[in-house]
Amino acid sequence: MKEKIDHLLVEIEKVEIKTKEHLEDFRLKYLAKKGALTALFDDFKNIANEERKEVGKNLNELKNKIQDKFNQYKEKLEDTGDNTYSGVDLTKPSEPIVFGSRHPISIVRGQIVEIFSKIGFTVKEGRETEDDWHNFSALNMHEDHPARDMQDTFFIKAEESNRSSHVLRTHTSSVQIRVMENSKPPIRSIFPGRVYRKENISARAHCFFHQVEGLYVDENVSFADLKQTLLYFAQEMFGANTNIRMRPSYFPFTEPSMEVDVTCFICNSKGCSICKGSGWVEILGCGMVNPKVLENCKIDSKKYTGFAFGMGIERIAMLKYQINDIRLFYENDVRFLTQFKSA
């Protein structure tokens, strides 16, 4: 019995406790109900009477030594508040946590969606690869329309033939067609997404960018509804004092068609480099949905009318934040992106 006690005394002296896990292992091995100390006390019952006094004294010394060591290291580990004695001063200020920021395109996209959601527009998204019908033909683009030219569109070559039957969508108008084919009026939706065109990459153009298009189809929809919708958007996006003007234009899927300008919010229409001295800045194209497009989607053009509009998200972001190079959006330069933390 005495040999076991002496062996445990030596063993305990050698035990190193550096973490709370080590301390718990120490407790389980020596102090728990099935620990070494409990086993010795159980054996003590079988000790001869003449040896009990001396063995009992040694056993109590062992118990106190184990308990003292446990309490000592328990107090130390609780004081440090950590599992290790690393020598680190935990009272020093920590390193600042660096927070990321949302991409400016995501910020502006969210703002546009929120503005139109307030007046009942839902968000619809669609595929980025499209067939000829949904990307061109259903939108009243005839066979020799320039947008069908290989120089403007990314065609996807079919494996079984040399003829390209699908393209990377050139606009989100294809989603409008799919919604009109599968829904009955009234339809009031916006269509954000990425589009692709064969452009030479420069400060003002890129081979892919982001659009938000809108569509409203119902009975008795008028050009006045379109104008008031876009005026509301412009004032929500650029400020309450913003005005719009509409200039005649041409799009095959709308008739009449318009380009929309807003009063320059940089110079308050006094003339600057952004508005090129005119006091106006172009932001989007729009018009009343061409009856042929409605008929292509099996919607009665004599009963229903509608308007559509489309804008580039990068264009809005460049105007809003006075960014002069579209390539900055895609270069992932942290110096550029961190400027939008508070946006």
Per residue of the chain (343 residues), give pLDDT as tens.
Answer: 677 777 777 787 888 888 888 888 888 887 787 778 778 777 777 777 777 778 778 778 878 888 888 888 888 877 665 455 556 777 888 888 888 888 999 999 999 999 999 999 999 999 999 998 999 999 998 888 776 776 688 888 766 555 567 899 999 999 999 999 999 999 999 999 999 998 888 888 899 999 999 999 999 999 999 999 999 999 999 989 899 999 999 999 999 999 999 998 777 778 777 778 888 989 999 999 999 999 999 999 999 999 999 999 999 998 888 888 899 999 988 889 888 876 6
Last residue of one domain, picked from the residues 80, 96, 119? 80
Q: Which domain holds residue 167?
A: 105-340
Strand stretches in the chain, DSSP E: 122-123, 129-131, 155-157, 164-168, 187-196, 208-218, 244-251, 254-263, 280-289, 305-312
162 within a domain of the structure (yes/no) = yes
Cα dihedral 78, 83, 86, 92 in deg (nearest 10): -60
Residues 6+ apart with CB under 8 A from 188: 120, 121, 122, 215, 216, 217, 218
Retrieve residue 270's tokens.
């006094």
- The pLDDT assigned to 76 comes to 81
| Residues 72 and 114 placed together within one structural domain of the fold | no
Sheet of 208-218: strands edge to edge?
122-123, 187-196, 208-218, 305-312, 280-289, 254-263, 244-251
| Residues 129 and 236 placed together within one structural domain of the fold | yes
- Cα 71 to the center of its chain, rounded Å: 51
| Residues 142 and 275 placed together within one structural domain of the fold | yes
Last residue of one domain, picked from the residues 80, 113, 148? 80
- The pLDDT assigned to 151 comes to 62
| Residues 222 and 327 placed together within one structural domain of the fold | yes
90 within a domain of the structure (yes/no) = no
- The pLDDT assigned to 159 comes to 62
Contact between 326 and 203 under an 8 Å Cβ cutoff? The reply is yes
| Residues 140 and 273 placed together within one structural domain of the fold | yes
- The pLDDT assigned to 158 comes to 63
Domain containing 247 — which CATH number? Answer: 3.30.930.10
| Residues 42 and 7 placed together within one structural domain of the fold | yes
Question: Structurally, how many domains does the chain consist of?
Answer: 2
Angle between helices 223-238 and 313-321 (to 10 degrees): 40
- The pLDDT assigned to 86 comes to 57
10 within a domain of the structure (yes/no) = yes
94 within a domain of the structure (yes/no) = no
192 within a domain of the structure (yes/no) = yes
| Residues 50 and 116 placed together within one structural domain of the fold | no
| Residues 68 and 180 placed together within one structural domain of the fold | no
Q: What percent of the chain has pLDDT over 70?
A: 93
Report the alpha-carbon distance of residue 128 to residue 193 in Å, rounded. Answer: 8
| Residues 144 and 9 placed together within one structural domain of the fold | no
Report the alpha-carbon distance of residue 258 to residue 230 in Å, rounded. Answer: 12
